[in-house]
């Protein structure tokens, strides 16, 4: 199997990032957006193919939850596809001609490392609380979107602990800071998770409908239909709160409220047979499904704007 059809340690991913920017110096740039609680660098890649003025952008983060290994694998898969097929595949060419792409392959490096060394089922980051012996906050409950209301917990021992205050965690703060300073260009936001095969959009922090709900629903529907047509696999789609559960403090809702009106959380394979332990032989199909959907939505956003 190829490099991209295996899971990789944090160290290997850092090496891969280095190699990628060295091999494609005109296309892939390294951006340090911050550092983790344990002081590891949070590196994002910027894929930029030409210097058109006022170019729009899309953001993809992977691995906000440590145990969801298919997510970082997808970020690497996406970068490989973009670098290899630009100028050959019409869709990715069209996307990169019209948008810069920012990719954060591992948003939670401390947690990811911990799943490789100590506890494969770890979800949160690894921040130490001053009120409890329990470690870690759920980074996807730590954003400032109805923070820590129903669907999150103030208990540091909970898997959905929201942290001390919104953006208390350096990983969520780094992403929020980056998006705040790039909100004029970033039009499309993706956060990649697993598992359950769902394409979700705002809101998850309230049962209220997003202002452009119809648009988001239509884009998600089309993306999911393409997955069904090309890969014979089913994904659910809809507003998070009504499709999966009410969960405040997520990055997607926060990005949406910031003004990024096309904001999605993508839950990749599978539906629970292997769950978080998706075997390597499934990586290729899982990533191609997600790639199909991401490209479909990006092309729609380009048309609309
Ligand atoms: O609960 C989550 O954070 C996500 N599901 S997961 O099983 N990967 O943990 C869903 C996130 C949906 N979006 C928001 N809750 N904002
Ligand atoms: Zn997740």
In a domain? residue 97: yes
CA of residue 294 relative to chain centroid, distance: 11
160 is a domain residue? no
Q: Is the CB of 240 under 6 A from ligand 1?
A: yes
Contact 211, 124 (CB under 8 A): no
Does some domain include residue 264?
A: yes
Residues surrounding ion ligand 2 at CB below 5 Å: 65, 68, 193
Q: Is 191 in the pocket of ligand 1 (CB under 6 A)?
A: no
Separation CA 241–CA 188 (nearest Å): 20
Write out pLDDT tens, residues 163-180: 999 999 999 999 999 999
The per-residue pLDDT of the chain, averaged, comes to: 98
Domain housing 35: 3-119+170-304
Q: How many domains does the chain have?
A: 1
Asked if residue 213 is part of any domain, the answer here is: yes
Structural domain contains residue 40:
yes
pLDDT given for residue 302 in this prediction: 97
The verdict on residue 192 lying in a domain is yes
Q: Are 192 and 105 in contact (CB under 8 A)?
A: no
Kindly report, residue by residue over 213-266, the tens digit of the pLDDT.
999 999 999 999 999 999 999 999 999 999 999 999 999 999 999 999 999 999
Asked if the structure places residue 95 within a domain, the reply is: yes
C-alpha 35 – ligand 1 centre gap (Å):
23
Q: What is the pLDDT of residues 277-289, one digit of tens each?
A: 999 999 999 999 9
Alpha-carbon span 287 to 275, nearest angstrom: 15
pLDDT value at 305 more than 90: no
Beta strand 56-62 pairing with 186-194: parallel
Does pLDDT of 53 surpass 80? no
pLDDT per residue over 81-122, tens digit each? 999 999 999 999 999 999 999 999 999 999 999 999 999 999
Indicate if the alpha-carbon torsion angle 215, 217, 218, 223 is positive or negative: positive
SS3 assignment, position 291: helix
* CATH at residue 246: 3.40.630.10
Compute the distance from residue 194 Cα to the ligand 2 centre, in Å.
6
Proximal ligand: closest to the CA of 190: 1
Q: Is residue 103 part of a domain?
A: yes
For 200, the token pair is 């979700």
Decide: 33 and 173 in contact? Cβ < 8 Å: no
> What DSSP assignment string belongs to 72-103?
HHHHHHHHHHHHHHTTTSHHHHHHHHHEEEEE
């Amino acid at each position: 199997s190829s490099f991209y059809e295996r899971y990789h340690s944090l160290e290997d991913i850092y090496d891969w990032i280095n190699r990628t920017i060295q091999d494609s110096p005109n296309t892939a740039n390294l951006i340090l957006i911050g550092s983790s609680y344990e002081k590891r660098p949070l590196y994002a890649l910027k894929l930029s193919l030409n210097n058109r003025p006022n170019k729009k952008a899309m953001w993809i983060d992977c691995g906000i939850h440590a145990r969801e290994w298919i997510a970082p694998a997808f970020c690497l898969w996406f970068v490989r596809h973009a670098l290899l097929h630009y100028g050959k595949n019409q869709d990715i060419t069209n996307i990169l001609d019209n948008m810069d792409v920012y990719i954060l392959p591992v948003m939670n490096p401390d947690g990811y490392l911990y799943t490789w060394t100590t506890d494969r089922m770890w979800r949160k980051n690894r921040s130490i609380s001053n009120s409890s012996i329990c470690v870690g906050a759920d980074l996807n409950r730590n954003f400032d979107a109805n923070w820590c209301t129903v669907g999150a917990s103030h208990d540091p021992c909970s898997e959905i602990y929201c942290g001390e205050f919104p953006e208390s965690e350096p990983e969520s703060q780094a992403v929020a800071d980056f998006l705040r300073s790039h909100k004029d260009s970033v039009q499309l936001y993706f956060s990649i998770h697993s598992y359950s095969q769902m394409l979700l959009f705002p809101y998850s922090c309230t049962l209220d409908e997003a202002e452009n709900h119809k648009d988001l629903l239509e884009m998600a529907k089309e993306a999911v239909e393409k997955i069904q047509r090309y890969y014979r696999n089913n994904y659910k789609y809809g507003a998070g709160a009504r499709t999966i559960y009410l969960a405040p403090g997520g990055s997607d809702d926060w990005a949406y409220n910031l003004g990024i009106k096309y904001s999605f959380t993508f839950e990749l394979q599978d539906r629970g047979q292997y769950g978080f332990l998706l075997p390597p032989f499934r990586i290729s199909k899982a990533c191609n499904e997600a790639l199909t959907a991401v490209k479909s939505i990006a092309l729609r956003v380009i048309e609309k704007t």
